[in-house]
Structure 1
Amino acid sequence: MSVKVSKEFVQGLPKAELHVHIEGTLEPELKLKLAQRNHVDIGQSTIQEVKNSYKFTDLTSFLAVYYPAMNVLETEQDFYDLAMDYLHRAAKNNVRHVEIFFDPQAHTSRNIPFETVINGLYKATVDARALNIDARLIMCFLRDYSRESARKTLEESLKYQDKFIGIGLDSDEHNNPPMKFFNQFTDATTHNLHITAHADIDQKNSIEHIRELLEVIGTERIDHGTNIVEDPDLVEYAAKNEIGFTACPLSNSFVSPEMKGKEILELLNKGVKVSIHSDDPAYFGGYISDNYYALAKNFDLNKDQIVQLAKNSFETSWISNEQKALYLKQIDDYVRVNE
C-alpha cells in the first residue's frame, strides 16, 4: 500500500541539490536591490514590475529574459549576496549538500572579471557551513559561445581550481552538440575535474547528444536528459554505470505539460540514478522541495519513491563515500522518526 507524502515530509527530507544555476536564483527583490545599488537601469522600478518581466514560453524566450537580468551583478559582493540568498532558501529546504552551477562567460562577456565572479561565489560556499550546508561550485560553459571561448575560460579557471570541483555545459543546445566541446571536457578531466552536461528535454537530436555524453565524452552525470527513455539500450547503460540524471519538474513543465514525470518514474523504476532539483527557481516558481512535491502530487509518488530520489541525489554527488554514507544515514534516521 502506497503512503502519501506530505509537504512537510518533503521539506524536511535531507537532500543534495545538483542542478541549480546560481544566476537562476536571482529573485525580483534582490534584482531590484542590486540594480539600485549599482545604478543599473533595468527598466523596472518596483518588485511587481520585475516579476512581470519574468515571462517566457520556451527556452529561447527564457534566455532572452535570463541573460539581461544578470546586468545587475557587477561586484564580488553582488555575487556573494546572490549565492547567500539562495543558500538561505536551500537551508529552509534541508539541502545538506549543493553543487552550484555558475556561468562565467555570461559575466566576462560584460567585462566582469572571472576573479570577481568566483571569489564572491566561493566566499558564500565557505559561509554556507554556518547554515549546515556543504556547498561546492561547478563552472559551466555556455554552449552557444565558441569552443575557443570555452578553451580560454577553462584556461583562466585553472588558476582558481581550488574553488570549484567540476565542469558543466548549459544554454541553447540547438546546433551546439556536446561534441563541440570534446577537447574542453577532456582537458578538464586531465586536471581532475568532474564533468556533467545538459541534455535539455525534447531538443533536436536529443538521443544523439545523450549518446555522445555517455559513450564518447563519458560524463558522470547528465542534467535533464529524460529523453534517454527513447532508447532502452542507453537506459540500461546508464543504470549499469550509475550515471546520475538531474531532473527539474517545474522547469520541465514550461516545455512539457506533464513535467516529464512519466519519464522520471520510468528511469527510477529501471534503477537509473535520477534525482530532483530546482534548475532556475526564481524563474520557474519553486525551489527544490516544491519540485519534489509537484512530482509527488501529480504522479502519486509514495514515500519510498521520494526517499529513493533523495538518496540518488547524494549517491551521484561529487563527494567522498564517507560523506555519502553520513548523508544517507541522515535520510534513514529522518524516515524512521517520521514513519
Structure 2
Amino acid sequence: MSRFRTLPKVELHLHAEGTLEPELAFALARRNGIELPFASEAELRAAYDFTDLQSFLDLYYATTAVLWTRRDFDDLLWAYLQRSAEQGLQHVEVFFDPQAHTVRGVAFTDIVDGLGDALTRARTELGITGGLIMCFLRDRPVTEAARTLDEAATRLDALLGVGLDSAEVGFPPGPFAEVFARAAQLGLRRVAHAGEEAPASSVLEALDTLGVERIDHGVRALDDPHLVERLVREEIPLTVCPLSNLRLRVVDDLARHPLPAMLAAGLKVSLHSDDPAYFGGYVGDTFDAVARSLGLDDETAALLSRNAVAGSFATAERKTELLTAIERWLTGPR
C-alpha cells in the first residue's frame, strides 16, 4: 500500500453522480427496469474515452437514468464512501445535480434524503464527516435553477451550500448571480466550477458576480498574473482534479499538469477526484498518480491535505481534528 493511502484526506470536489461505477449502473438498471444503451459493463467502461468535457457529460447524464429512488442514491454514495474510506477519506462535501433527476420525475426529497442516508451512516460506521452541495446546471435555464433553489429552501437543514457545474464553454457564471445571491441570503455557502475549459476570466466572474468562497478547478487562473495575485491575497481555495484534467484533455500529460506551478505561486490548491468512476481514480489514487508523474513528497502531500481542510465548510472543531490527524501522519513512521 502506498504511504499516501493512509494520509487523512478531505474531498471538496466530488460529484455523487460521478461515482457511478458500471457494475452498480447495471445493478440499478436491473432493479429499476431500465435498459442502458450498452450491452455490458465492459462496453460501458470502454466508452470512457473522452475527447472533452462535453463528450464526458453526454455519457454522464445518460447513465444517471438508472437513479430513481431514495435507496438508489443511498447505494450510490455509500459505495463511494466505503471505497474512499480505504484510501484515507475523512471528510467529503458532495456535489449533486438535482436538475438532472427532477426533470426525469425523480423527487427532490428522494435525492437529498438518499445521499443524506449514506452520509449519516458514514459518520457512524466509517468516521467520515461531510455534507451536500447542490449544484445548478449552467447549461440549463436560470429560471430552472431558481425553481430548484425554491425547492431546496424547504430542506436547508440537509445542505451545506450551492455550486455551479456542467459545461463551461458558452455558459458563463454571470447569469446565475441572482440565484447565488438568494442562496447566500438563505445561509448557504457558495462554490463554482470555473477555469477548467473556460479562460481565467471565468474565475474572476465567478468571484465577482456569484460571490463564491472557493473555485472548483481553476487551473486556467495561471494565465492571468493579476488574478493569481488576488487568489493568493484572498486565500481562495482551488479544488484541483488532475486525473479529470487528463481524461478530459485539459492537459495532455499528467507530467505537465500546472499543479507544481500553482503551488509555487502560493495558491491554496488541494487534490480531488471529481468523477472517480469515469476518470480512473479515487482520492488515494489521485495522490498516487500525482506522486508518480509530478513527484510528491510527504510535506507537499500534507500541505495539499491541509489546504483541503482549510477550504472546507467543516466546523472549527472538525477542522482541528483533521489537521491533527494530518500532522500525526506527517510525523509518524515512514
TM, length-normalised to structure 2: 0.96
Q: Are 1:22 and 2:16 counterparts?
A: yes
- Equivalent residue, structure 2, for 1:250: 243
Q: Which 10-residue stretch deviates more, 50-59 or 315-324?
A: 50-59
- Equivalent residue, structure 1, for 2:221: 228
Offset, 1:64: 1.1
- Equivalent residue, structure 1, for 2:56: 62
Contact persistence 1:207–1:227 (CA under 8 A): yes
- Equivalent residue, structure 1, for 2:206: 213
DSSP 3-state at the match of 1:137: strand
What is the letter of the counterpart of residue 15 of structure 2?
Answer: H
DSSP 3-state at the match of 1:253: helix
DSSP 3-state at the match of 1:175: coil
Contact persistence 1:32–1:50 (CA under 8 A): no
1:181-233 deviation line (CA, Å, top 9, x unaligned)? 00011111111110000014232xx2221111223432111000111111111
Q: Are 1:181 and 2:176 counterparts?
A: yes
DSSP 3-state at the match of 1:239: helix
- Equivalent residue, structure 1, for 2:163: 168
DSSP 3-state at the match of 2:153: helix
Offset, 1:9: 1.3
Offset, 1:73: 0.5
- Equivalent residue, structure 2, for 1:3: none
Q: Are 1:97 and 2:91 counterparts?
A: yes
In the alignment, the residues of structure 1 paired with residue 138 and residue 255 of structure 2 have an alpha-carbon distance, to the nearest angstrom, of: 23
In the alignment, the residues of structure 2 paired with residue 296 and residue 261 of structure 1 have an alpha-carbon distance, to the nearest angstrom, of: 13
DSSP 3-state at the match of 1:30: helix
Q: For 1:84, which of 78, 86, 89 is the aligned residue?
A: 78
Q: For 1:309, which of 282, 298, 304 is the aligned residue?
A: 304
Contact persistence 2:2–2:288 (CA under 8 A): no
Contact persistence 1:102–1:137 (CA under 8 A): yes
Q: How does 1:23-172 map to 2 (within 5 A)?
A: 23-129=17-123, 130-172=125-167
Offset, 1:93: 1.1
DSSP 3-state at the match of 1:304: helix
1:124-181 deviation line (CA, Å, top 9, x unaligned)? 1111111110021100000000000000000101111101101010001122101110
**What's the RMSD between the two structures over aligned residues?**
1.4
1:93-117 deviation line (CA, Å, top 9, x unaligned)? 1110000000000000111111111
Taking a change above 3 Å as real, the CA distance of residues 181 and 229 of structure 1, as seen in their structure-2 partners, is same
Q: Which 10-residue stretch deviates more, 281-290 or 262-271?
A: 262-271
Q: For 2:332, which of 299, 314, 337 is the aligned residue?
A: 337
In the alignment, the residues of structure 2 paired with residue 79 and residue 143 of structure 1 have an alpha-carbon distance, to the nearest angstrom, of: 22
What is the letter of the counterpart of residue 212 of structure 2?
Answer: T
- Equivalent residue, structure 1, for 2:196: 201
In the alignment, the residues of structure 2 paired with residue 186 and residue 113 of structure 1 have an alpha-carbon distance, to the nearest angstrom, of: 25
DSSP 3-state at the match of 1:96: strand
What is the letter of the counterpart of residue 138 of structure 1?
Answer: I
What is the letter of the counterpart of residue 146 of structure 2?
Answer: R
Q: Are 1:192 and 2:226 counterparts?
A: no
Offset, 1:260: 8.1
Taking a change above 3 Å as real, the CA distance of residues 64 and 216 of structure 1, as seen in their structure-2 partners, is closer
Contact persistence 1:251–1:259 (CA under 8 A): no
Q: Which 10-residue stretch deviates more, 206-215 or 323-332?
A: 206-215
Aligned length: 331
Contact persistence 1:32–1:45 (CA under 8 A): no
TM, length-normalised to structure 1: 0.94
Taking a change above 3 Å as real, the CA distance of residues 245 and 261 of structure 1, as seen in their structure-2 partners, is farther
- Equivalent residue, structure 2, for 1:322: 317
For structure 2, the 5+ residue unaligned runs are: none
Q: For 1:287, which of 282, 288, 295 is the aligned residue?
A: 282
Contact persistence 1:261–1:295 (CA under 8 A): no
In the alignment, the residues of structure 2 paired with residue 17 and residue 79 of structure 1 have an alpha-carbon distance, to the nearest angstrom, of: 19
Offset, 1:55: 3.3
